[in-house]
Amino acid sequence: MSSPGFGIYLHWPFCRSKCPYCDFNSHVRERVDHGRWRAALLRELEHYAAEAKGRTVTSIFFGGGTPSLMEPETVAALIARVRELFPVAGDLEITLEANPTSAEIGKFRAFRAAGINRVSLGVQSLVADDLKFLGRQHDGPQALAAVQMAAATFERFSFDLIYARPGQSLDQWRAELDRALEFAAGHISLYQLTIEPGTQFEQAVARGDFRVLDEERAAELYEATVMRLGKAGLADYEISNFAKPGQESRHNLTYWRYGDYLGIGPGAHGRLTRGADKFATRQHRAPEAWLDLVERDDHATRQRDPVSRAERLSELLMMGLRLKEGVALARIEDESALPFAQALDPSRLQRLIDGNFLTLSGNRLTATQQGRQRLDAVLAALVA
Ligand code: SF4
């Protein structure tokens, strides 16, 4: 089995504006004191390094918010400090999420010089009206220019699109996907539009401003997506992520394979195994409170909770069954500390296998395509 790896996630909580569908920990501020933020991120990283001494880092991920709004000096300082504090893998993957506006594209070379070797671009759509609907600050040509610039600057890149937008037909989506594939290289993420609590879109749907696509149409779009991407040689290695062999996001694979990762910055989550125990960490969400706490205490940990064996099993399945490769039975035994036959109820499991939602073969438990599309229900039926 491939090793889950050990990742470091760094959260930059600021954006130019708030997108109406977004429920991430992102905030709009007129002014950001970059020097203060740089020092605080370094400080919290150093604090957590003591908890994970000697672990070999396989990936670093700058997420947000919009981390392409960071100063490249901050990115460079954080990468250099990770290299000082930890042994790192020879093929260390260092990803930065970026928005395709011209100001951010202009910083690509500086980010590469800072050590970034993979960029993930939030393109979201190539259709002008839909970009407006999604509240984005770029247009289609700008997005494609950013993709080309990313291809020319970084070793690897990916970009995201959001589909199942209101009124989107199968033919419209196929045409957009074909256009996107002309520009894709090894990796692309395709997310179905979902309406999250607390977002502007939630209020808009409640007001009746628009309706989300019904489940059947969304499933049709998903199936067409998997088929089209497969034809282009990009396998659906995870529900929303498609890659050529070897081009998968190593950092995200660490989450999905239920490996350990440090979460640094406002609202960041982490998982740390120490001996037989595992801890879930969460940092303070509000940017200013996080900053003050780090300056006072060296960290802004809000929660540091032991994860029970039952929770470890649920989390492992919740993450791992998203992957086409599924979950090794040995990992189920490791995380639950039980033999497989006791970790999962055999009759529940058999019902899901008979219903063509799960398969059990080659020492792995895997969700079928229909199982992956209904993963929440499958998990609820599998573990009480
Ligand atoms: S740019 Fe990204 S993180 Fe920021 S508000 Fe939009 S979707 Fe959320």
pLDDT digits (tens, 9 = 90+) for 58-78: 999 999 999 999 999 999 999
Q: Show the CA angle centred on residue 188, arms to residues 92 and 136, nearest 5°.
A: 105
Question: Region 117-122: what's the mean pLDDT?
Answer: 97
Q: Is the CB of 26 under 6 A from ligand 1?
A: yes
Whether the per-residue pLDDT at 356 is higher than 60: the answer is yes
Angle subtended by helix axes 72-85 and 34-49, to nearest 10: 20
Whether the per-residue pLDDT at 80 is higher than 50: the answer is yes
Task: Give the confidence band of 104 by pLDDT, cuts at 50, 70, 90.
Answer: confident
Give Cα 249 to chain centroid, integer Å: 9
Are 14 and 287 spatial neighbours (Cβ–Cβ below 8 Å)? yes
Q: Is the CB of 123 under 6 A from ligand 1?
A: no
pLDDT of residue 101: 87
Whether the per-residue pLDDT at 277 is higher than 60: the answer is yes
Closest CA relative to residue 110, chosen from 65, 77, 66, 147 = 77
Q: Is the CB of 192 under 6 A from ligand 1?
A: no
pLDDT of residue 1: 46
Angle subtended by helix axes 309-320 and 375-382, to nearest 10: 150
Pairing of strands 327-328, 364-367: antiparallel
Residue nearest atom 8 in ligand 1 by C-alpha distance: 22
Q: Is the CB of 24 under 6 A from ligand 1?
A: yes
Q: Is the CB of 16 under 6 A from ligand 1?
A: no
- 156-163 sheet: strands from edge to edge: 235-238, 241-243, 187-192, 156-163, 118-124, 88-98, 57-64, 6-12, 260-264, 269-274, 277-283, 301-306
Residue type at 296?
R
Tell which atom from ligand 1 comes closest to the C-alpha of 124: 7
Percent of the chain with pLDDT over 90: 93
* Tokens 């950001």 found at: 32
Paired strand residues for 311: none
Tell which atom from ligand 1 comes closest to the C-alpha of 22: 8
Residue nearest atom 2 in ligand 1 by C-alpha distance: 65
Question: Region 360-368: what's the mean pLDDT?
Answer: 95
Taking the centre of ligand 1 as the mean of its atom positions, its distance from the CA of residue 67, in whole angstroms, is: 10
Distance (Å, whole) CA 128 – CA 204: 20
Residue type at 62?
F
Question: Region 126-139: what's the mean pLDDT?
Answer: 91
pLDDT of residue 3: 82
Q: Is the CB of 95 under 6 A from ligand 1?
A: no
Q: Looking at the whole model, is its pTM more than 0.75?
A: yes
The token pair that represents 21 in the structure block: 């569908």
Taking the centre of ligand 1 as the mean of its atom positions, its distance from the CA of residue 344, in whole angstroms, is: 38
Question: Region 226-239: what's the mean pLDDT?
Answer: 96
- For a mutational test of ligand 1's pocket, the pick from 17, 26, 125, i.e. the residue with the most ligand atoms closer than 8 A to its C-beta, is 26
The token pair that represents 371 in the structure block: 């199982």
What are 18-28's pLDDT values in tens digits?
Answer: 999 999 999 99
Residue nearest atom 3 in ligand 1 by C-alpha distance: 65
Distance (Å, whole) CA 263 – CA 89: 19
Give Cα 134 to chain centroid, integer Å: 19
The token pair that represents 44 in the structure block: 């919290």
Residue nearest atom 6 in ligand 1 by C-alpha distance: 19
Residue nearest atom 5 in ligand 1 by C-alpha distance: 18
Give the gyration radius of the chain's Cα atoms: 21
Length, in residues, of the chain? 384
Are 157 and 121 spatial neighbours (Cβ–Cβ below 8 Å)? yes
Q: How would you write the chain as a 3-class SS string? A: CCCCCEEEEEEECECCCCCCCCCCCCECCCCCCHHHHHHHHHHHHHHHHHHHCCCCEEEEEEEECCHHHCCHHHHHHHHHHHHHHCCEEEEEEEEEEECCCHHHHCCHHHHHHHCCCEEEEEEECCCHHHHHHCCCCCCHHHHHHHHHHHHHHCCEEEEEEEECCCCCCHHHHHHHHHHHHHHCCCEEEEEECCCCCCCHHHHHHHHCCCCCCCHHHHHHHHHHHHHHHHHCCCEEEECCEEECCCCCCHHHHHHHCCCEEEEECCCCEEEEEECCEEEEEEECCCHHHHHHHHHHHCCCEEEEEECCHHHHHHHHHHHHCCECCCEEHHHHHHHHCCCHHHHCCHHHHHHHHHCCCEEEECCEEEECHHHHHCHHHHHHHHCC
Taking the centre of ligand 1 as the mean of its atom positions, its distance from the CA of residue 130, in whole angstroms, is: 15
Task: Give the confidence band of 215 by pLDDT, cuts at 50, 70, 90.
Answer: confident
Mean pLDDT of the chain, nearest integer: 95
Distance (Å, whole) CA 367 – CA 323: 8
Whether the per-residue pLDDT at 55 is higher than 60: the answer is yes
Whole-number Cα distances in Å, 79 to 114, 212, 229: 8, 41, 33
pLDDT of residue 137: 86
Taking the centre of ligand 1 as the mean of its atom positions, its distance from the CA of residue 1, in whole angstroms, is: 35
Taking the centre of ligand 1 as the mean of its atom positions, its distance from the CA of residue 378, in whole angstroms, is: 30
Whether the per-residue pLDDT at 243 is higher than 50: the answer is yes
